[in-house]
Structure 1
Amino acid sequence: MAQEYKVYDPKNMLFRRLGPSGLRVPVFSLGGWLTLGGTVLGDPVKEIIKVAFENGINMFDTAEGYAAGKSEEEMGRVIKELGLRRTDLIISTKLFWGGDGPNDTGLSRKHIIEGTKLSLKRLGLDYVDVIFAHRPDPTVPMEEVVRAFNHVINQGWSFYWGTSEWSAQQLEEAHHVAHVYGLIAPIAEQCQHHMLHRERAEQEYDPIYRNYGMGTTVFSALAGGLLTGKYNKGIPDDSRLAKHADLPFLKQLIDSFGEEEGRKKLKIVQDLNNLAQNELGCSVAHLALAWVAKNPNTSTVILGASKPEQVLDNLKAIEVIPKLTPAVLEKIENILGNKPDPVPTFGRPALDKFGRL
């Protein structure tokens, strides 16, 4: 008897190419960092993924380091239990933090190949669509890294590979190595990008977008929850900051609340909230997600959720994207006051934007 699959309905989801590839990804995807397999286990994981899939999300992102592999296990289990057709899904995982041994971490050929096999085993899949180098590894020659990911793709264990939090110089080197040796180059960079953190995604990577067409799979688009407005009057007990206050990334955010820079950010969030509610009829979270999605170099924005309701609420940002007209974007820039400086022209007049650069 043929297996019955849950039929995928994209609903009103928008799709984009992942970087220069032909792979179409939803503008909003779902990630497992800090939640799936970590603070969220069992049936709640199934409900979150089920609601996401039923509302147009068909890309799911995880990593070997998320909850020490438990995120991959939970995601794989749920995909099987829900009866989701593999060809309808885009699954991505990341390699770097695989264990405690000297070769269980980093980007050696040994760990990339062994780590890929272990990730596939935990996921219960024959392949993933995209595999990311979760961080750069300056202790490994770039040729070894690129060749290892090329091997993973040639073995059919992944269709594409990408990077996460690499510098533009490291990305340039990876593309150079791939070009010189006829290997497969990375197609996407998974980076932090939000209204309060812009330089790398909008300035440093500019030549990488221009020269290689790479796209971003953005994480932390809500700045750890800061851009939801929930921390304007303190840290709620059930919030991400309260539950994960020991993480350096979030501890730094908490500590900033008592400093001038942190108070300045909270004021910006309040002003953005007023703009969102009064002019766009949405929440500041919807505005923040739509703003990142509006960037032409964003391939997908990875959502995090500990409840199905959060997925549904975040997807309302799709309706806000077309409302971000040039006039609205200018108002946002006036509130933020942090637009990265353009590349200097040293006094030369600007080129016609409709001509070839």
Structure 2
Amino acid sequence: MEFRYLGNSGLKISEITYGNWLTHGSQVENDTAKQCVRAALDEGITTFDTADVYANTKAETVLGEALQGQRRESLEIFTKVYWPTGPGGHNDCGLSRKHIMESIDGSLRRLQTDYVDLYQAHRFDTETPLEETMQAFADVVRQGKALYIGVSEWTAEQIREGHRLAQELHVPLISSQPQYSMLWRVIEDQVVPTCEELGLSQIVWSPMAQGVLSGKYLPGQQPGQDTRAGHAEAGQSMKELMRDEVLEAVQGLKPIAADAGLTMPQLAVAWVLQNPNVAAALVGASRPEQIKDNVKAAGVTLEADVMKAIDDALGDVVQRDPAQTAARAPQERPC
């Protein structure tokens, strides 16, 4: 395993980070989820990312149980706040002081830890003054419940303003967690340059485009019911990726991966790690073997000719429009 600094902080994290979105507490059984965590630990992964909204808090509980018995100082545990939890009442979401202060305590109980290494704003809250949000995060840090703070799917402008307030409050805002893959490059034009300037790193989710870049989905064929695309809930977020023209282009990556001595998932993860502003690629798993395969992307260098071949194979199916970050963000609180 290789390790990278997160932003301009002194915190190092494993460049392959284990995330449990759509798996723990929902898509896979708890015993299998715990086996995946153990496989991650065995492969040298020390960084684990979750969120209170995943499986409506169950994912945090499963992760907390799976990590019991591990030396806490040897782990980096991340979680997030914003989306509705519990019964979804009128204050059960967003980034108000009330929701943040209540949510961090709930997350710590479920994770069975006294603190998280990174506490992240899961989206930007248009209905709460940013000053209120950042002050609440600052208080969470000063209370010792989080060591650092981060954001997820914020625009470059939102990151800049949040960073300004964090500096005034003397709290470390060090990371951004956006979607990023060979197929989804919307952060490259604005978010990445802004973060490089301000000293934030990217912790990227869906580097395999929710499994599409594994090459297992074929154009003109329905996905199997045991796959993410065939899953009743998870598959809803994959409709754009499952277009035949995208799947056809992805098939063109197979000889590139083979020539590089990599599997398709390894190629996808290695690709995002070539970006120097990326500190870690988030990978999930429904089986322990997937973790063992993905971690082999750590430390891989893709030569310039391989990067060009990837661009040529994917062509126009790559999404690059930076406006997509704002377009896909919630315009009002979801509760």
The equivalences for 1:252-271 within 5 A come to 252-253=240-241, 257=242, 262-271=243-252
One of 45, 55, 63 as aligned partner of 1:67: 55
SS of 1:91 mapped into structure 2: strand
The reply on whether 1:296 has 2:276 as its aligned counterpart is yes
Q: Is the 8 A contact 2:18 2:45 kept in 1?
A: yes
1:198 is aligned, of 185, 189, 197, to 185
State the match for 1:272 in structure 2: 253
Q: Does 1:103 align with 2:81?
A: no
Contact 1:38 1:67 in 2 (8 A): yes
- Counterparts of 1:34-53 in structure 2, within 5 Å, are 34-53=22-41
Q: 1:306 to 1:133 in 2, by over 3 A?
A: same
**Post-superposition offset of 1:175:** 1.4
The CA distance in 2 between the partners of 1:284 and 1:307, in whole Å, is 17
Q: CA deviation at 1:242?
A: 1.0
Q: Which amino acid aligns with 1:311?
A: I
C-alpha displacement of 1:237: 2.1
2:79/2:119 contact within 8 Å kept: yes
User: Structure 2 counterpart of 1:335, which letter?
Assistant: A
Pairing 1:168-187 to 2, within 5 Å after superposition: 168-179=156-167, 181-187=168-174
CA contact (8 A) 1:218 1:298 kept: yes
Q: Which residue is equivalent to 1:345?
A: none
Task: Name the amino acid aligned to 2:26.
Answer: G
Deviation for aligned residue 1:148: 0.6
Superposition map of 1:153-164 within 5 A:
153-164=141-152
Q: Pick from 217, 220, 226: which aligns with 1:238?
A: 226
Q: Which moved more, 1:309-318 or 1:60-69?
A: 309-318
Deviation at 1:149, TM superposition (A): 0.5
Name the CA shift for 1:341/1:62 in 2 (closer, same or farther; >3 Å): closer
Partner of 1:336: 314
2:123 alignment partner, one of 135, 145, 148? 135
- SS of 1:240's partner is coil
C-alpha RMSD of matched pairs (Å): 1.8
Percent sequence identity over matched residues?
A: 41
Pair 36,327 (structure 1): closer, same or farther in 2 beyond 3 Å: same
Q: SS at the partner of 1:241?
A: coil
Structure 2 Cα separation of the partners of residues 243 and 267 of structure 1: 21
1:251 shift after superposition = 3.8
Quick check: 1:285–1:314 contact (8 Å CA) kept in 2? yes
CA spacing shift, 1:246–1:314, aligned 2, 3 Å: closer
2:147 paired with 1:167: no
Match of 1:32 in 2: 20
1:297-351 Cα shifts (integer Å, max 9, x gaps): 11110111011011111112226x22x1122212222223359599xxxxxxxxx
**Corresponding residue of 2:266:** 286
Q: What residue ranges of structure 1 are gaps of 5+ in the alignment?
A: 1-12, 343-357
1: distance between equivalents of 2:61 and 2:22? 14
| Aligned twin of 1:310 | 290
Q: Which has the larger radius of gyration?
A: 1
Q: How far does the alpha carbon of each residue in 1:53-102 deviate from its partner, in whole angstroms, 9 at most, with x for none?
A: 0111011111100011101111111111xx11000110001101223111
Measure the CA separation in 2 of the matches of 1:194 and 1:42.
28
**Deviation, structure 1 residue 18:** 0.8
Q: Tell me the secondary structure at the aligned position of residue 92 of structure 1.
A: strand
Any gaps of 5 or more consecutive residues in structure 2?
Answer: 323-335
Aligned residues: 316
Q: In 2, Cα distance between the equivalents of 1:302 and 1:237?
A: 24
**What's the TM-score once normalised by structure 2's chain length?**
0.90
Letter in 1 for 2:306: V
- 1:111-137 CA distances to partner (integer Å, 9 max, x unpaired)? 011100011011111111001111110
CA drift at 1:230: 0.7
By relative contact order (CA 8 Å, sep 6+), the higher-ranking structure is 2
Contact 2:19 2:49 in 1 (8 A): yes
- The CA distance in 1 between the partners of 2:283 and 2:236, in whole Å, is 20
Shift of 1:252: 4.0
